[in-house]
Chains A and B, each alone.
Chain A
Amino acid sequence: MNTTESICIRGIGWLNEEAWGRLLCDEGETCAVPHAALWKQGQVLATPVKNSGRFDTATRLTMVAVALALGDGGRCGVESAGPGTGLLGGSRAGSAATNRSYFQDYLQAGRTLARGNLFIYTLPSSPLAEVAIHFGFTGPMFYAGFTGGAIYNLLATARTMLREGTPEVIAIHAGESDAIAFWMGPGGAASAPVLTLDQVAVREEADQPVAQLAGRLRRALKGNGTVCA
Chain B
Amino acid sequence: MSVVVVQREVVTAWGWGTAACWSGILTGRPAFAPVSRYDTRFFQSRLAALIPGLTAGVEDSLVMQMLRPLLAPLACTLPDDTLVVLAATTGEVDLLERHCLGAAIPPEESCLTRLLERVTGLLGAVDGCVISAACVSSSAALAHGAALVTTGERAAVLVVACDAVTEFVHAGFSSLMALDPGGARPFDKTRAGLTIGEAAGTMLLMSEAEATRTRRPVLGRLAGWGLSGDANHMTGPSRDGSGLERAIIQALAKARVEPRAIGSISAHGTGTPYNDSMEMKAFRRVFAESSRPVYSVKGSIGHTMGAAGLVELILALESLKAGIVPPSANLREVDLEAQDWVHGTALPAPDMRAVLSTNSGFGGINSALIVTP
Minimal Cβ-Cβ distance residue in A for B246: A138
User: What's the nearest-Cβ distance from chain B to residue A138, in Å?
Assistant: 5
B7 touches A (CB below 8 Å): no
- Whether B131 sits at the interface, judged by CB under 8 Å, is yes
Closest Cβ neighbor of B91 among chain A residues: A94
Expressed in whole angstroms, the minimum distance between the Cβ of B131 and any Cβ of chain A is: 5
CA distance A140 to B142 in the complex (A): 13
Chain B residues contacting A94 (CB-CB under 8 Å) are: 111-113, 132
User: Of A141-149, A178-186, A188-196, which binds chain B?
Assistant: A141-149
> A122-137: contact bitstring with B at CB < 8 Å (1 yes, 0 no)?
1111101110110111
Per-residue B-contact encoding for A75-94, CB less than 8 Å = 1, 0 else: 00000000100110000111
Known A-B contacts A116-B176, A133-B232; A124 and B96 likewise in contact (beta carbons under 8 Å): no
Say how far A191's CB is from chain B's closest CB, in angstroms: 26
Question: Given known contacts A120-B235, A136-B231, is B362 in contact with A146 (CB within 8 Å)?
Answer: no
- Total number of B residues with any Cβ neighbor in A under 8 Å: 58
Q: Known contacts being A132-B231, A137-B229, is A147 close to B42, with CB within 8 Å?
A: no
Binding site for A on B (CB under 8 A): 39, 42, 89-90, 93, 96-97, 100-101, 107-108, 110-113, 116-117, 120, 128-134, 136-137, 140, 143-144, 147-148, 151, 153, 167-168, 171-176, 227-235, 243, 246, 361-365
Most chain B CB inside 10 Å of its own CB: which residue of A93, A107, A125, A132: A125
B130:A144 contact, CB within 8 angstroms: yes
How many angstroms from the CA of A94 to the CA of B130 in the assembled complex?
A: 10
Judging by beta carbons under 8 Å apart, are A145 and B129 in contact? yes
Q: Is the CB of B172 within 8 A of A96?
A: no
* A114 with B112: CB separation less than 8 A: no
The answer on a CB contact under 8 Å between B97 and A138 is no
Mind listing 22 A-B residue pairs with CB under 8 Å?
A94-B111, A94-B112, A94-B113, A100-B96, A100-B107, A114-B175, A119-B173, A123-B363, A125-B133, A125-B134, A125-B363, A129-B234, A129-B363, A138-B231, A140-B140, A140-B228, A141-B133, A142-B132, A143-B130, A143-B132, A145-B113, A146-B128
State whether A122 touches B175 (Cβ < 8 A).
Answer: no
The minimal Cβ–Cβ distance linking B240 to chain A, given in whole angstroms, is 13
- CB pair A138–B111 under 8 Å, yes or no, is no
A112 within 8 A of B: yes
Docked pose: A129 CA to B236 CA in angstroms: 12
CB pair B100 A104 closer than 8 Å:
yes
Determine the distance from Cα of A58 to Cα of B89 in the docked complex, in whole angstroms. 17
Q: Is A40 on the interface with B (CB-CB < 8 A)?
A: no
Tell me which residues across on chain B come within 8 A of A93, comparing CB atoms.
108, 111, 113
